[in-house]
Structures are given as C-alpha cells and as structure tokens.
Structure 1
Amino acid sequence: MSFSTDPFPFLSVSGTPYERGRQHGSTLAKRVRRSAALYNGTLDKLGFGGERGNALIRKFAAQIEAFGAHYVEEMRGIADGAELPFEQVVMINARTEVIAEARRLSQAETQAAAALATKDGCTGAIILPGRSSAGRLIHGQNWDWRAECAETAIVLRVRRDDGPDFVTFVEAGGLARNGFNAAGIAITANYLRSDRDYSQTGVPLALIRRKVLEQEHFALAIRTVAATPKSCSNNMMLSHADGVAIDFECAPDESFALSPSHGLLVHANHFTSMAALSKLRDTGMADSPDSHYRDLRVREALEAAGTALTPDDLKHALFDDFGKPYSVCRPPRPGSHDDLSATVAMVVMEPGAGWMEVAPLPALNRVFTRYSLTHEPQTLA
C-alpha cells in the first residue's frame, strides 16, 4: 500500500467559532469526511453504528460544551461546511474516549476489540534556549499513528479576536493536536496508559490541547493540563518561548510534573516520574515496549550533538531508525489496527520565531514544509 508524502494542506481561518469551523469544513471537506469515516468506522465495528453510536457521542458533546461552548459551535461549523452529521465531527475530537466507552459498554474485551483501541505513540523533545545555537527554544515530536492519517492531517492557523492566534498540526475536523501560539506557548502530547484509566469521565484530550493553545499566560496553560479531569492517561509536554519547559504525566485524576535535565526534556510512552510510579501502575508496556529505548535514543543523540543544538539536530534525533519498524521514526507496518501504523508526521517548532516545520511520513520522506503565524507555507529544500 502506498501513501502520499505531499505537504499537509494549510488553512488559515478567522471569525466567530462557527465561521472558523465552516471555513475548515468546507475548504477541507474531503479530508474531514475521511477522518470521520476512519473513526466512525471503528465505532461500527464495535456495534455502535447509527443512532446507538450517536447517542454515545452526544454524551461527550455535552461534556465538551460544559468545558467551552465555543468548541461545540466550531464543530457544528465544521460539520455544516463538510456536510456531515455533527456527531461525526465530535467523534474526530473525542475518538479515544468514545471508543473506550463503546468497548466498555459492549464488554467487547476480545482480541479483535482490543485491536481497535486507540494507541497513538509519539516521541517528543524540547531543547531549552541554553542548549540552542540560536538561543531559542525548540520543541518537536514524532506522531506515531495510523499511516493513512498522512492523507487526513492538516495544518491549521486560527486567527482570534479574543486571544492569541495559533498554529496547530491536527487531523482534519479536529480542533487541535499539537502546536504553538502567538504568546510563545507550545504543546505536544504522548500516549500513556495506567490502571486508573476510564475510572471517571473527563474532558477529551484534544480539547485540553486546544485550550492550552488559547492561553495568553503559561500559568493558565499549566492549569489547563494539570487540573482538568480526564478519562484516561496522557503525557503533555508544555513549553514557553522564553525558556521554560515542563512535562506532565497525567493520570485521569492527578498529574506529575517532570523538569528538564541538562537543558533537555525528552518523553516517549511510559511513565518516568517516581511519584507517579509509586502511586499507579503503568499498563502500557504491552502496547509500547519500544518506548524505553526510543526515549533513550533521542536523548543520547541530542547529548552527542553538543551544547549548541539546532532544529536539524532535533530532526536527526527524531529520524533515528534503531529497532525499526519499532523505532523512533517508524516506517508503515502492520499495526494494532486493520490498517498500518507509522510515524505519520515529524513536527519541529520554534514558538519564539513563530514557525512549525512538518514532514509527512518521515521514514519515507525528509522534505519539510514551514508553516507560520505570519507567512504562507514554504517547502524547504
């Protein structure tokens, strides 16, 4: 099976939340519909097609609306623009939580149902200004997920009248995945799993990331990550262009902070906080056994590159192919789904300079496109 390595489509939206969503949905309708088909198809396989699935999704829509009514308005705009039912767009934004609840309700703890669980990987890293040759913070990540998402992902720039503008790499129809804003705040996230997962209902992870990108102040971004109740574990890496980085290993009801070491912060898909490991059980080893060496390989590559690191040094570390296909940079391979798993994108950001560089399927392609708060996309040689 072949996949496109064309640059991800870029869209700049503005106006009210509904208007922004409508622009998103109508301009990128084909990709939004494909995203919707991907995840709503998973619900069908779990026996939650049609109205049964829609009823489940609406429960999460109500939770999202309580967290921020403008998020629901934006999703309604996306749905109208793409000519899709509203519930299908909510599903794109709450896929992890909805699928987990469908599995619980159907008691489908069979091997086939377990294979439908959402287990996106990721290896992330932050370089503080003191270790950067240009004196600017660098924040990046490999996003490991379903290879066909190379043909559903987009880069979205949101112009806001009520807060900082931001740029996010996200699946079409989604409100945010990772990105940075005009206030210098950046976020990436990594899959984690613990024995506390799905013991409560919380805000879908995508909406937490979106709210971070709406913040003017780093303290409020921290509060959004650390204090918002979640349904499942997740790791969120926060940085500020002025030279601050904090990693939060989040259980549904508690968060554990990690600080940089020697000007670096690196994280893959396992808990490393001693406080966390003394209080909960990391249950993700079966899904991500390679997480332990991916973390080490990136850290060692950055340490070996010296004390004046560049974005290219971070890219080199994230291109590491030790242990492939179970590597930092993963080629498409049979995965935990009916399709293929891969590093869908490599994302490297300098929030202080206002840009993000993204390469689709980096195990097959090393061409980056630069997306900016102020300029049109530029493909880099």
Structure 2
Amino acid sequence: MNSFTPFPLIEISGPPRARGRSYGEQGRERIGKSVALYRDSLRRLGCADADIKRYIDVLLPETTRWAPDLVEEMEGIAEGSGNPLSNIVLINARTEVLQLAKREKQIADTEADGCTGAVVLPRATRDGKLLHAQNWDWKTDCAETSVVLHIRREDGPDILTFTEAGGLARSGFNSAGISITANYLESDRDYGRLGIPLPFIRRRALETPHFALALRIVATTPKSGSNNMMIGTSEGFAVDLECAPDEAFPIFPERDMIVHANHWLSATALAKLKETGLAEVPDSLYRDQRVRSMLQAGHGDITMADLKTALSDDFASPYCVCRPPLEKDDGNLSATVAMILIEPSAGSMMIAPLPAINRTFTQYRLTMDIERARHAA
C-alpha cells in the first residue's frame, strides 16, 4: 500500500443524478474500498447484512425528506460505482450506523473519530487573510479510501471538499468563501433519537452562499449524535458550534482564533449535558492547548506554515496532535489520516496523507467568485 499517494481529485457537475453517476464512475475503486472498510467493521461487531440494512432503513426516510436531491445524487453514485444504494448510504451514515450497532450490541466505543481543528482570523495572520485547518484522525486505511471532490454548480457556489470516497462532504470550502471542518464530540444526549447524518449537514452548509445560512444549517438541523463543526468565512470571521443532537452551543474567537479538539468547551453546554467521550480521547485535553499556545506566540504574523507546524506537534506521541499509525486494543489501526490546510480567499486547499510520517502536500484549487455564487443561489 502506497499511503503517500495524493488524494485523487474528482470533478463533477450537472444535475444530482448525473453528477453522482460521474462521481461513482471516477471513484469506483476507492468507493469499493470505503464500502469494504465499513462492512468489515460492522461484521467484526457481529452485524449480519440484515442488521446493516435495518440500520440504514431507519436513517434513510427522514434524510430523504430533508435532502431528496442529495439522496438522488447518492443514487447516481451507486449506479456509477456499481453498488446498491445501501452501500453509499452506509459511507455517508457510517458514524450513525456504527454507533447504532455498538449501542444495540452493548459494545464499548473504542473508535473515536478524533481531529484537531483551528481557524485564525485575519488580524492574527501575516497576510490579513483567514486561515482554516484540521488534522483528521480516524482509520489508517482511509488514506487509501478518501478523495477530493470538486463540485461545479449552476444554482449556488462551487465546492471543494475532502471526503471519504462516496461521501457527500467532510472538510472544505466553497467559492463564496465559506469553510467548514468537524470534530468528534460525545454526550449523554446522543442517540436518544435519530437525525440527519453528518455529511449531509456539512454538504448543505457548503452549498450556501452566505455565512449566516451555513451557521443556521449546522446549528438547527437535528442530529443523531453530538459533533463539533467550525465554520469560517473569507470575510474574516468564524464560529465554532458544539452540537448536541438537539441544541448547538457557540464558541467565538478568543485573541482572533478558535482551536478545538474532541471535548466540550462551552460552559453552557457543560452545565446542561454530560461529557461522555473523554475515556476514548483523553489526549484531547492537551491537543487543543498545544496548538493554541503555538499559534498565539505568533499572533499578528501567523502564516500557513505556522499552522502546519502547530498541527505537526508530536508532544506525548503517539497520543499527540499529529498521530502516527497506532494499533488500538481492539486491533483497529488509527492515525492522523490527513492534514488539511484551507485559505478560502485564495481558493486553496493543501492536503497531506498520513502527515506524521509524510510531509508532502498536494494543492487543490477552486476559482473564487463570491458575487456569482451569491446571485446563482
């Protein structure tokens, strides 16, 4: 396995089914690997195919009502990649499906989807531009199952997003200058009811031409489990939303930046719910502090190189900001799968696979046209 191969770029356009079919055809091999990865994970949990279908059938109806066009796009992905629709839904609802399986079978969750994210506002940067970045910590195999998706749209901003192959969106930005990253969170409110799978929410946020509309989608869409989503705009601001399934708690920049790992920071949130995720990500308690302190030292002169350095921190390795491949007690191999560096105003996203052992970045570009994006919508 050559894990240092750059993530392939897939460009799609047209109506939902057509762009989905193109996506499926171009990403067929990696989509197949994505499907195998999560079906194998579920089988190791003791799930039969009938169980997997049952979980998907529970999630799909409300998702279809909320975003019929995105379900149609998934149908196209299924056709283009030679998969049943259920496999594409599994990729996009893998967090929810895995959690439903573990809770039903009373299996402890040892696979927290980690991440350390940061947004730096223009007043803190050398060039006066907003910078947004993230380390995505998850299964090491995802270095071979992820892609960069460039979506050309006629009815809104174009999108550039890093995602698992077959996925609708993960981290990225749009041609209106809106950027998003996401981090794992957990609380005692999780899975009391089912909501919209997270990739759908991130995709909808990236489809919006205005910062306020992206915030509304993230803050108000019902979710199955907790999640943290950081939304920035090239206009020079950012808000972090710590989301319980039924409520969102905003965190605003302090000293012109936001840094977030995988534990709740909002005092209001902690007064209303119980943090339940730290057993699996205790390193979260220092990862965000390490990155924040390194960035604050350069306040007013921060560059993307500084963000790269901060997110490469190996303090307390292997439980560090930039994690090398690590085999967990359950046999799963996890790591920082990708470091993602976004400068929305420049239309630039740079990504390195497995950055703890590989520092080669590939640049992906998006043509920025804020006025066209806003009027197209």
Into which bin does the TM-score normalised by the smaller protein fall?
A: over 0.9
Counterpart of 2:156 in structure 1 is 163
Structure 2 regions of 5+ residues with no counterpart?
369-377
Distance 2:199 2:103 in 1: 21
Q: Would you say 1:91 and 2:85 are equivalent positions?
A: no
Match in the other structure for 1:245: 238
Moved more, 278-287 or 42-51: 42-51
Residues in 2 aligned to 1:74 and 1:26: alpha-carbon distance in whole angstroms: 13
1:46: how far off? Answer: 3.2
Between the aligned partners of 1:323 and 1:143, the Cα distance in structure 2 is 18
Please, which of 143, 146, 154 is the counterpart of residue 153 of structure 1?
Answer: 146
- Equivalent in 269, 278, 286 of residue 285 of structure 1: 278
CA distance in 1, matches of 2:332, 2:43: 16
Q: Does 1:364 align with 2:357?
A: yes
**Residues 316 and 14 of structure 1: is their aligned pair in 2 closer, same or farther, counting only changes over 3 Å?**
same
Report whether the alignment pairs 1:226 with 2:219: yes
- 2:302, 2:61 → 1: CA distance? 45
Task: Give 2:10's aligned residue.
Answer: 11
Distance change (3 Å), C-alpha of 1:30 and 1:255: same
2:268 to 254, 265, 275: 275
* Amino acid paired to 1:288: V
- Of 108, 129, 152, the residue aligned with 1:114 is 108
Q: Write the distance in 1 (CA, Å) between the matches of 2:230 and 2:68.
A: 26
Which whole-Å deviations, capped at 9, do the CAs of 1:43-94 have from their partners, x for residues lacking one?
2233432233213212212121111101111111111111111101100000
* CA offsets 1:87-122 (integer angstroms, 9 cap, x no match): 0110000011112222333xx22xxx325x641100
Distance across 2 between alignment mates of 1:331 and 1:255: 32
**2:330 aligned with 1:332, yes or no?**
no
Residues 277-307 of structure 1 deviation map (CA, whole Å, 9 limit, x = unaligned): 1111111110110001101000011012242
Alpha-carbon separation, structure 1, partners of 2:84 and 2:331: 25
Query: How far is the alpha carbon of 1:336 from its aligned partner?
Result: 5.9
CA contact (8 A) 2:175 2:367 kept: no
Matched with 2:127 is: 134
CA contact (8 A) 1:185 1:239 kept: yes
Gaps of 5+ in 1: 376-381
Write the distance in 1 (CA, Å) between the matches of 2:207 and 2:50. Answer: 33
Question: How far did residue 24 of structure 1 move?
Answer: 1.0
Q: Percent sequence identity over matched residues?
A: 53
Partner SS state of residue 135, structure 1: coil
Q: Give the structure 1 partner of residue 371 of structure 2.
A: none
Q: What SS class does the counterpart of residue 63 from structure 1 fall into?
A: helix
Rounded to whole Å, the distance in 2 between the matches of 1:336 and 1:135 is 45
CA displacement, residues 237-264 of structure 1 (integer Å, 9 cap, x when unaligned): 0000001100011111111000001111
CA contact (8 A) 1:266 1:298 kept: yes
- Contact 2:125-2:299 within 8 A present in 1 as well: no
TM-score (normalizing by structure 2): 0.95
Separation in 2, partners of 1:307, 1:330: 28
What's 1:69 paired with?
A: 68
Determine if contact 2:149/2:161 at 8 Å carries over to the other structure. yes
The aligned counterpart of 2:33 is 34
SS at match of 2:95: helix
Does the residue aligned with 1:352 lie in a helix, a strand or coil? Answer: helix
Cα distance in 2, alignment partners of residues 195 and 59 from structure 1:
21
Distance 1:212 1:118 in 2: 26
Residue 338 of structure 1 deviates from its aligned partner by: 3.2
- Written as runs of structure 1 = structure 2, the 5 A alignment for 1:41-56 is 41-56=40-55
> Is residue 82 of structure 1 aligned with residue 81 of structure 2?
yes
Rounded Cα–Cα distance in structure 1 between residues aligned with 2:24 and 2:112? 26
Matching of residue 217 in structure 1 with residue 216 in structure 2:
no
- For residues 122-153 of structure 1, the C-alpha deviation after alignment (integer angstroms, 9 at most, x for no partner) is 00000101111111100000000001100001
Query: Would you say the 8 A contact 2:24–2:79 is kept in 1?
Result: yes
Q: 1:305 aligns with which of 298, 304, 316?
A: 298
Q: Are the aligned partners of 1:226 and 1:255 in contact in 2 as well (CA < 8 Å)? A: yes
SS of the aligned residue for 2:203 comes to helix
Matches of 1:296 and 1:330 in 2, distance apart?
16
1:314-367 residue CA offsets vs partner (Å, 9 max, x unmatched)? 000000000110000000011365331100000010111111000110001111
- Structure 2 letter corresponding to 1:292: L
Structure 1 118/207 Cα, relative in aligned 2: closer, same or farther at 3 Å? farther
SS of 1:235's partner is strand
- Secondary structure, aligned partner of 1:325: coil
Which amino acid in structure 1 is aligned with residue 210 of structure 2? H
Helix, strand or coil: the match of 1:134?
A: coil
TM-score by length of 1: 0.94
Give the drift of 1:28.
Answer: 1.3
Q: How does 1:173-184 map to 2 (within 5 A)?
A: 173-184=166-177
SS at 2:172 equivalent: strand
